[in-house]
Amino acid sequence: MNTSKLLILGIVLAITGCAGPRNEQNGPKPNTYEEYFVMLEVVDGKLVITSPAQGDDAQGKANGWVGFGRDTHGRIVFAFKDYLTRSRCTGNPADSAEWVLTTVALSKKGDPSTQKGKGFGERQSGWIRHAFPGIDENGYLIKDMDLRRASAFEVLVDANNNSGKQTAYYELEARRCDGTGEPLKADPGIGNKGK
């Protein structure tokens, strides 16, 4: 190695060593990745979220709440319990899912006291479109998915890149694979503390 390369390497090492590790005492923590599973079942004709509140600010929240803390991003997997082995409507009772998700919608409108959303399907703009890059302009991740294409699970990416604390509400709609009965819905919240 020639002298100029050693000198540059020495300067880079010296500068890097002076900076030290970043932690809560001398700077923000690195952006953390989290993954949450929101498990679903149909009980007595109702779509029920069996997962307790998870993540940041979960205490006192209803089942299905997912909270992403400051400087945290990740994904939420909405899934029926047998989604790994029976993920699609196949027409064969031996391997077909019984229920699939046909609509996943988000809204920034809702009532924090009841933890229920409203305004699903309305135009969504601003922070919610940036925080959840997979949704369309009306807040849909998927909408009225055909049973042949629908799945027993869906994945929602949460970039949590909003400025300050925000709450989004999600609405899930599930349908029976055999096409009978009415669609079932549930609508808890997602808390984002941003970056």
Distance (Å, whole) CA 171 – CA 107: 8
DSSP 51: S
In angstroms, the CA 63 to CA 66 distance is: 9
Task: Calculate the CA 3 to chain-centre distance.
Answer: 52
Could you identify the residue written with the tokens 């046909």? 102
For residue 194, the model assigns a pLDDT of: 66
- % of the chain with per-residue pLDDT over 70: 82
pLDDT digits (tens, 9 = 90+) for 70-89: 999 999 999 998 898 999 99
Burial string for 58-82 (b: 16+ CB within 10 Å, else e) reads eeebebbbbbbbbebbbbbebbbee
| CA distance linking residue 112 with residue 195, whole number of Å | 21
Return the percent helix, strand and coil in the chain, to nearest 5.
10, 35, 50
17 token code pair: 């060593």
Contact 61, 142 (CB under 8 A): no
Largest CA distance in the chain: 78
Amino acid type, 70: R
pLDDT in tens, 97-131: 999 999 999 999 998 888 889 999 999 988 999 99
pLDDT at 145: 94
Please say whether the beta carbons of 126 and 150 come within 8 A. Answer: no
30 pLDDT band, cuts 50/70/90, is low
pLDDT over 60 at 24, yes or no:
no
